[in-house]
């Protein structure tokens, strides 16, 4: 939904939206997809299960987000962002309370697949990308990168907070305390700060396709694309599945790096450091990636990221030798650097191709395809418990990565999809 008028401010208000989008992801994405790995071993001890059983927790959350996102897209295109984000943060807080009270793995899965899924969607990466893409055009890559920095910041600090508080007070008190903070601090701030994007962008942001080759003529009205028009578009399919092939490697690292470090004999703090390096690398490099993506062919950025993750698979597969703590530090650092490009690259390609008026719907559908990566932690856990290594998982993901790289380099362009302006949304 857009708003035609906003109170005048001495600066572009879109940057406030970007800043809060980053802040809320510290707790939604930073906690659920980075710091949850710190709770893995305590959960195993509490519930008496292995990592394969607990791998269903992030799997359930990611699958549920994939299912919810296509519905969330049109909702964010149509209804007030302030109410949607506020409601999602309340759901996140209640879900964190639910985690603190869980008495079984099934209850952990249920809470992650319901309340925390709503929070992670409406107050996480999806909401941040949708709001930022609608507020910006000329500097969209930079805005998306800065908005996504909250996930990196959360991944940098939340594992340490979790490790320290879990050791001192236990994992239940830790999740309950974070829930209180979200409810008492973030919810009121969201209600005060979040505004709908303007119906017409400010002049400073109205240069959207200056460096592109639009299919339609300059006088054509923006196309309101149907769901089937989006799903049949090869750029949409290759972009989302291609990003999914990268995310598959990333989510394995996010969830299992602390456990990998612990199994090598590292202390809890050293294990948490691996996740912090992974997230910190993404945080530091997001402005760089935003600047680059705004000014270059997206295919070259995808190529660079793919090469980094291919090397990571070689390390995890032990194809050059056994895994060591030092090699995990290197993997965390280079993947942190590469992952900083993921969200801005996805957002820029989809917005350039389909337009900001379709962005919520397109991104929602994109999450449905991109999150096939949620199978990766489950697959890797099952294979690891049967073989004692990540070699087979790495081989499978390498084949997928090479295939998607070839398709991305061939199919993705800067051209925008058009259709009849009267096409139903």
Q: What is the pLDDT of residue 211?
A: 39
**Does the pLDDT at position 112 exceed 60?**
yes
What number is the average pLDDT over the span 247-273? 83
- Return d(Cα 422, Cα 425) in angstroms, integer: 9
pLDDT per position as a tens digit, 127-143: 888 888 888 877 788 88
**Position 406 confidence tier, pLDDT thresholds 50, 70, 90:** very high
What proportions of the chain, in percent to the nearest 5, are helix, strand and coil?
Answer: 75, 0, 20
Contact (Cβ atoms closer than 8 angstroms) between residue 22 and residue 150: yes
The model's pTM: 0.70
Separation of alpha carbons 145 and 289, rounded Å: 7
Q: Which domains does the chain have, with CATH numbers?
A: 14-196+225-411 (1.20.1250.20)
Q: What is the pLDDT of residue 401?
A: 94
Residue written as tokens 């991305």? 408
Q: What integer pLDDT is reported at residue 286 of this predicted model?
A: 79
CA–CA gap between residue 242 and residue 25 (Å, rounded): 23
Percent of the chain residues past pLDDT 90, beyond the cut: 31
Query: Average pLDDT in the 36-56 region?
Result: 84
**78-102: average pLDDT:** 93
Supply the pLDDT for residue 416.
55
| More confident site: 207 or 284 | 284
Contact 175, 99 (CB under 8 A): yes
> How high does pLDDT run on average in the chain?
83
Q: What angle do CA 116, 20, 364 make, to 5 degrees?
A: 50
């Amino acid at each position: 939904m857009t708003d035609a008028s906003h109170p005048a401010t001495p600066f572009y208000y879109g940057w406030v939206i970007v800043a809060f989008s980053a802040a809320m992801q510290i707790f939604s994405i930073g906690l659920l997809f980075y710091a949850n790995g710190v709770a893995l071993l305590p959960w195993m001890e509490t519930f008496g299960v292995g990592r394969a059983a607990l791998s269903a927790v992030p799997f359930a959350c990611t699958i549920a987000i994939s299912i919810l996102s296509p519905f969330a897209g049109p909702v964010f295109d149509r209804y007030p962002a302030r109410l949607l984000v506020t409601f999602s943060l309340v759901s996140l807080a209640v879900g964190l309370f639910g985690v603190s009270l869980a008495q079984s793995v099934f209850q952990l899965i249920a809470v992650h697949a319901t309340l925390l899924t709503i929070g992670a969607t409406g107050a996480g990466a999806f909401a941040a990308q949708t709001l930022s893409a609608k507020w910006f055009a000329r500097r969209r890559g930079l805005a998306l990168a800065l908005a996504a920095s909250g996930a990196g910041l959360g991944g940098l600090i939340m594992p340490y907070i979790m490790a320290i508080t879990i050791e001192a007070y236990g994992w239940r008190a830790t999740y309950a305390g974070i829930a209180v903070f979200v409810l008492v601090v973030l919810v009121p701030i969201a209600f005060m700060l979040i505004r709908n994007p303007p119906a017409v962008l400010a002049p400073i942001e109205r240069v959207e396709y200056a460096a592109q080759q639009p299919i339609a003529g300059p006088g054509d009205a923006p196309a309101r694309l149907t769901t089937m028009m989006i799903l049949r578009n090869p750029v949409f399919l290759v972009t989302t599945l291609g990003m999914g092939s990268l995310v598959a490697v990333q989510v394995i690292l996010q969830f299992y790096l602390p456990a990998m470090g612990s199994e090598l004999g590292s202390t809890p703090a050293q294990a948490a450091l691996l996740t912090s390096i992974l997230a910190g690398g993404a945080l530091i490099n997001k402005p760089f990636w935003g600047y680059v993506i705004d000014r270059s062919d997206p295919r070259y950025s995808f190529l660079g990221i793919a090469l980094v993750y291919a090397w990571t698979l070689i390390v995890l597969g032990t194809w050059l030798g056994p895994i060591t703590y030092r090699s995990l530090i290197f993997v965390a650092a280079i993947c942190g650097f590469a992952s900083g490009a993921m969200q801005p690259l996805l957002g820029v390609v989809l917005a350039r191709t389909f337009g900001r008026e379709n962005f919520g719907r397109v991104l929602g559908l994109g999450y449905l395809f991109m999150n096939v990566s949620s199978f990766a932690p489950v697959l890797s856990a099952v294979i690891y418990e049967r073989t004692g290594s990540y070699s087979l998982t790495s081989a499978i993901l390498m084949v997928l990565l090479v295939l998607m790289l070839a398709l991305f380099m061939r199919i993705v362009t800067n051209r925008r999809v058009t259709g009849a302006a009267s096409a139903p949304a």
